[in-house]
């Protein structure tokens, strides 16, 4: 699955803080928060990640248990439908907030005012907030060139938010932020098929779909660590090599694979992917003590993966999973006899890129 990276950091504006202070002081004088004070509380808590720190208490205080968040965006149709949709209840709030983690936001409140359907200046329970922000996509590494502007309409009943409606104001900027470039899209599609299980259920066809016929994979650019308990982390070539690599990986239960970023590399067609996952050796039942992390530099040519250099950030823990048995079933190339030292070869472009990460 595509991973939501660590919680985004949103910077609050002085304007928001001033509005917040005025409304809170007003609420204290009256003994309760009015609708604008509630909206300010919620907005500031959103900025500082309070609902993700202490979801139960904070959500119950600020959101009605049947709250509805309408975050639909008609521009995209079915694309990004998992993000731009209607969320319901406290769990829906957390799911909605989770999608914010894909972005780094610098947000500023432009205006906040009562929002009565009849145009009155004192609608009581409705507030309309206009915000502008610059955003960076954590997943694809893209930054909005201009500030985006959205409008948020709040309905508050008895001191709690019951409805939120979001209107997006910058179609082109939002689209550019969320869409991968051509090479990133190729790699993302490959991971999507992995998540769908197609590399297991339709292995040969899926390999042919995503990989060039002369693909070359280096499954161990982890230096200086050398795997002692398995020979499976080696080099593979062609479609048959990719199938062999995947067959080796079948011996591990890869749990909750999460793609944290799919970033453009330094060279044309290079894509640097960071992933994390839980791992267990199925036969030996050895389980990694924590989530493992890895970086892979993929080389995309003519819409298919032509090369990759893979590096584990936790190679010792990964190696330990194979302590009792070599799961490559004797198919790995035999160890070469010692040779006289030769001048070091320049690393392949993808390998050199992986070594930097």
Residue 325: burial class (beta carbons within 10 Å; 0-12, 13-18, 19+): middle
For 5-81, list the strands marked E by DSSP: 63-70
Query: Which tokens hold the place of 23?
Result: 């409304």
Residue stretches of the chain with pLDDT short of 50? 1, 3-30, 118-122, 326-347
The full DSSP string for 151-214 is: EEEEEEETTEEEEEEEEE--HHHHHHHH---HHHHHHHHHHHHHHTTHHHHTHHHHHHHHEEEE
Q: Give pLDDT, residue 356.
A: 53
Say how many Å lie between the first and final Cα of the chain, rounded: 22
Calculate the alpha carbon distances from 232 to 115, 132, 250, 323 in Å: 63, 51, 11, 13
Partners of residue 290 on adjacent β-strands: none
Tell me the pairing of strands 211-218 and 160-168: unpaired
How much is the pLDDT for 99?
78
pLDDT of residue 74: 81
Could you tell me the strand order of the sheet in which 148-157 lies?
A: 86-88, 63-70, 160-168, 148-157, 126-137, 103-114
| Rounded CA separation 21/49 (Å) | 19
Q: Which tokens in the block code for residue 317?
A: 């823990």
At residue 79, the pLDDT reads 77
User: What's residue 53's pLDDT?
Assistant: 74
> Per-residue pLDDT tens for 184-199?
999 999 999 999 999 9
Is-above-0.85 flag for pTM? no
- The confidence score (pLDDT) of residue 25 equals 42
Q: Is 282 helix (H, G, I), strand (E, B) or coil?
A: coil
């Amino acid at each position: 699955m595509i991973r939501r990276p660590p919680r985004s950091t949103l910077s609050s504006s002085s304007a928001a803080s001033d509005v917040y202070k005025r409304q809170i002081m007003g609420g204290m004088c009256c003994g309760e928060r009015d609708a604008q004070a509630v909206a300010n509380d919620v907005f500031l808590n959103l900025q500082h990640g309070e609902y993700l720190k202490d979801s139960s208490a904070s959500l119950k205080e600020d959101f009605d248990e049947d709250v509805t968040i309408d975050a639909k965006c008609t521009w995209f149709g079915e694309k990004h439908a998992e993000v731009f949709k209607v969320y319901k209840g406290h769990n829906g709030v957390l799911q909605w907030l989770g999608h914010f983690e894909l972005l780094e936001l610098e947000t500023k409140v432009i205006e906040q005012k009562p929002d009565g359907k009849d145009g009155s200046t004192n609608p009581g329970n409705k507030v309309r907030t206009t915000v502008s922000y610059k955003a960076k996509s954590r997943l694809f590494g893209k930054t909005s060139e201009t500030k985006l502007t959205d409008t948020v309409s709040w309905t508050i009943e008895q001191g709690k938010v019951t409805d939120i409606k979001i209107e997006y104001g910058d179609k082109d900027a939002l689209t550019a932020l969320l869409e991968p470039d051509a090479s990133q899209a190729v790699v993302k599609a490959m991971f999507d098929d992995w998540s769908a299980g197609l590399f297991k259920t339709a292995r040969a066809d899926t390999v042919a779909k995503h990989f060039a016929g002369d693909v070359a994979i280096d499954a161990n650019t982890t230096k200086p660590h050398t795997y002692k308990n398995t020979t499976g982390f080696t080099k593979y070539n062609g479609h048959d090599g990719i199938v062999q690599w995947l067959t080796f990986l079948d011996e591990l239960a890869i749990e909750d694979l999460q793609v944290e970023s799919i970033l453009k590399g330094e060279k044309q067609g290079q894509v640097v992917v960071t992933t994390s996952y839980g791992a267990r050796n199925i036969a030996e039942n050895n389980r990694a003590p924590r989530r493992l992390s890895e970086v892979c530099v993929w080389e995309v040519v003519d819409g298919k993966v032509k090369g990759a250099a893979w590096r584990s950030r936790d190679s010792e823990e990964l190696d330990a999973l194979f302590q009792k048995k070599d799961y490559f079933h004797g198919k790995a190339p035999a160890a070469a006899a010692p040779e006289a030292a030769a001048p070091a070869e320049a690393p392949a472009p993808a390998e050199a890129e992986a070594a930097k990460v």
